[in-house]
Structure formats: structure tokens, C-alpha cells
Structure 1
Amino acid sequence: MEPAATAAPALAFRDATAADVAELVALVESAYRGEASRAGWTTEADILAGQRTDPAGVLAVVESPGSRLLTAEREGRIVACCQLEHRGEHAYFGMFAVSPALQGEGLGKVVLARAEREARTTWGVTEMHMTVISVRDDLIAWYERRGYRRTGRTSPFPYGDERFGIPLRDDLRFELLVKPLV
């Protein structure tokens, strides 16, 4: 007789508070920077060194009017997060992180879908916008499979501002991706 399949523990969603800042910084850093990030597929360790975010940056998102830092918890631990910011007719999606140990299990899809619903119902926006480092082909393809489209509009990477990391190459820029939410 085969053992019964066990379902993953349920996710609980809530807005982050100032008390969550240290845990959120650790989550974001683990998903994108350093050797620990290589356990997942979202690592930026080959293109950026240094930090991805810091406590002041996360706290600013948590406390900003018109902005939310949505967390997904499993068994009392934050395992994913994303920023939602109201920008008129659209919402901005950023600071998306999933624990590297849980990447590839579909958690990111669930969090992204929840973020889109929250933006639509909370602010009545009709589009979600995000920026992705243009050389992140696998990540951009992941978003395209979820309905985002490349716009070809780019903005410069903040070279020289170590709050966003230390570039390991000289061709980084952000590309705007957009998805209708209707």
C-alpha cells in the first residue's frame, strides 16, 4: 500500500509590519544574493554582488502610503513576499521573493496570482507593471508564461548605488513588463 500523499501546509497571506523587517530582508537576500541563493533558480549571484535590499528599504515599503508588502506564511514563517504599489491606473509589483528551498513548487505562481487579485480589488487597477533586469531571460520567460509582456521600454540600472548591489557586468538595465488585470 502506498503512503497517502501529504499536502503542503496552507499559506496565510497578510501585510507586513515593521516587526517583520529583519525576516523579510533575510528572505529577499537569500532568494537573490550569495551562495544560499543558488539553491533556487532566481539567484542574481552571477550578475550582482552585495545586497539586494536593506532594513531601511524594506521598512520604507512597509510604511509607505499606497504601498503594501504582502507576505505569504507557512507554519508561522514568512516564505514569500512581494511589494504592491498603487500608481494611478496601474499597480507596481516588486520585491518578489520566494524562499530558495521552496522554489519550483508553484509557490511563486500562487503569490503572484494573489498579488494581482489584491491590486485589482484594493485599488481597481487594470494593469500590473514590474521591472526586471533585462539579462534575466529565464525570469522574464516565467513572467511571460503568466501573461506579462515585454514592452521594450528600459531604464538604467543604478550603477554606483550599492544599495541595489554591486554589478558584475556592465550591460544591466531594467525592462518594463506589463500585464492587463481585467
Structure 2
Amino acid sequence: MDSAAAGLTFRDATGADVGVLVALIESAYRGDASRVGWTTEADILKGQRTYPERIHALIESPGSRMLTVERDGAAVACCQLEHRGDHAYFGMFAVSPTLQGAGLGRAVLAEAERAARTVWGVLEMRMTVISAREDLIAWYERRGYRRTGLMSPFPYGDERVGIPQRDDLEFELLVKPLV
């Protein structure tokens, strides 16, 4: 086990985790707190990244898991996994900004891939990433994800996903075989 994974506990989130997970996700992506880490979207999106109702729905949804990652009893990372037939979807990934860049995200992603393979038997992980996030896409590429060139529109006008600061946002599908 690498040092970043040492002392981590991985578990499925419960309803009691909703507030902590919303705060963690917000801190990793939006506002000034997110600028401590490198995964911030603060320059391209304002507003909230998620809401308690959304996290609660992900926790309760059949075929979905909200993985909570703790160190010394405190939530330090999370991600959502969704079983979609022959593949799993990976999303809502957040690592505490003060812990980014030390390998924690890599350890969480590896555990998510392992869980998708063993629990659901899927052979591929998929995700969508804002195509303007070249640094983040490069990080996923170094972990075996492949850009597909398949784009989907950003939901302009839906403030539940944030308030865009640019007019060129779209999502690109990334895929990785889990063999």
C-alpha cells in the first residue's frame, strides 16, 4: 500500500454523511477554499456544485454508491459510482483541497475501479469531464483513461450545476478498461 492510502477507510455513505459530503465537494470545486487545491472550477463556474438533496438521492438510489473516504474519522475524499449495465460511471469525485497533490486521489480512484470490478463485475469505467479542464483530463489520462472525443452539452441555464463564467463549456466522455 502506498503512503497516500495508509490509514484510509473506505465505506458507503449514509444519510448522516450528506452535510459533510456536500461541504467536502464544495470545498474541492467552488469558491476561494477550492483554490488551495488544483481541482478548482472557481474560474469557470460560480454557485454551488451540489446540494444535500442530490447527495441524498445518490446515496439512496439503487445501483449507485457514494463512497466516503475517511482518515482518522474525518471525511477526506468521496466519489460516486453508478452501475450502468456493462460499465460503471464515476463522478462527484472530491478530495479535500489541503490534501490534493499527495496521491490521495490516485488511491481513491484505484479503490473505486476495484469496487466497480468486484461488486458489479463491469469491465469499463466511464466519466464525463468539462473539456476545458485540460489539467484534470491529463491527470485521468495518466491513470489509463482515454479521451473519446464524444461531447455532451453543458446544461446552461440549470443553476443546480453552477453558473458558467464561459460560453464554451461541454463535457467529454473518458473511458478506461477495468481488466
Offset from partner CA, 1:31-54 (integer Å, 9 cap, x none): 000000000000000000000000
Q: Which residue of 1 aligns with 2:44?
A: 47
Q: In structure 2, which of residues 149, 156, 164 is the aligned counterpart of residue 167 of structure 1?
A: 164
Q: Which residue is equivalent to 2:105?
A: 108
**1:83·1:96 contact (CA, 8 Å) conserved in 2?**
yes
For the structure 1 residues 180 and 7, does the alpha-carbon distance in structure 2 shift closer, same or farther, using more than 3 Å as the test? closer
Instruction: Write out aligned runs for 1:139-178 (5 A).
Output: 139-178=136-175
Of 29, 34, 37, the residue aligned with 1:37 is: 34
**Separation in structure 2 between the aligned mates of residue 138 and residue 77 of structure 1, nearest angstrom:** 28
Distance across 2 between alignment mates of 1:147 and 1:86: 20
2:13 paired residue among 16, 24, 27: 16
Of 45, 63, 81, the match for 1:84: 81
CA shift digits 1:7-48 (9 cap, x unpaired): 986000000000000000000000000000000000000000
Q: What corresponds to 2:92 in structure 1?
A: 95
Q: Kindly, what percent of the aligned residue pairs are identical?
A: 77
Alpha-carbon RMSD? 1.2
Return the alpha-carbon distance in structure 1 between the equivalents of residues 5 and 120 of structure 2. Answer: 31
Structure 1 consecutive aligned stretches of length 4 or more whose deviation exceeds 4 Å: 6-9
CA spacing shift, 1:7–1:102, aligned 2, 3 Å? closer
Distance 1:161 1:62 in 2: 22
Does 2:77 correspond to 1:70? no
Using structure 2 for the length normalisation, give the TM-score: 0.97
- Report how many aligned residue pairs link the two structures: 177
One-letter identity of the residue aligned with 1:99: S
The TM-score with structure 1 as length reference comes to 0.95
Counterpart CA distance in 2 for 1:71 and 1:97 is 10
Shift of 1:90: 0.2
**Is the 2:4–2:103 contact (alpha carbons within 8 Å) kept by the matching residues of 1?**
no
For the residues of structure 2 that align with 1:19 and 1:115, how far apart are their CA atoms? 21
In the TM superposition, residue 107 of structure 1 has moved relative to its aligned partner by 0.1
What's the CA shift for 1:178? Answer: 0.1
Q: Is the 8 A contact 1:9 1:75 kept in 2?
A: no
Deviations 1:73-132 (A, max 9, x none): 001111000000000000000000000000011000000000000000000000000000
Hey, what's the Cα distance between the residues in 1 that align with 2:175 and 2:75?
27
Structure 2 residue identity aligned to 1:18: G
